Amino acid sequence: MSYDPPRPPPDLTYPWQPPPPEPPRPRRTPPREPLGHHSDLRVLRSAYRWQRRTAALTALGYFTLFLVLSAFAPHVMTTTVTDGIPAGLLLALLQLPVTWLAIALYEHTARRHVDPLADRIRKEAELNARRGATR
């Protein structure tokens, strides 16, 4: 009876032998350049950022003005405007229309600046998806 030692699997090597070379990976290049660019998304983000800042600063700026006048110019706030109505009360009641103005400004800038950019990017993405589906 002869003893045959077990053979190591071919993928295992001994420490003094170099590992087998890895097979080369096939290179994948896109057949077509997609229409959308990263700069489009960058422009959309900056337009959306401008829109948020404009609306927020409109509302917060007026509220901050009201607080500063209340704290540092109480004589302005207690001045009667007409028929015993103090200026502070009128400025406080104006906060609601200023908030509505900020909302209207937000919608206006969305329709004028942000929505057209988003629509264009969406259409380009749909066109790229159709190109990918036809292959």
Structure letter (DSSP) for residue 22: P
Q: Exposure string (b/e) for 83-114, b if CB count within 10 Å is 16 or more?
A: eeeebbeebeeeeeebeeebeebbeebbeebb
| pTM, rounded to two decimals | 0.56
Q: Cα separations (Å) of 12 from 4, 7, 18, 25, 27? A: 19, 10, 10, 21, 27
In the chain, where the domains are located: 87-134
The pLDDT assigned to 68 comes to: 94
| In the predicted structure, residue 66 carries a pLDDT above the cut 70 | yes
In terms of phi and psi (left: phi > 0; alpha: psi -120 to 50; beta: otherwise), the region of 29 is beta
In tens, the pLDDT along 93-130 reads 999 998 998 899 889 988 988 899 889 888 988 888 88
Question: Which single residue is written with the structure tokens 């993928």?
Answer: 11
Residue 79: partners with Cβ closer than 8 Å, 6 or more residues away:
86, 87
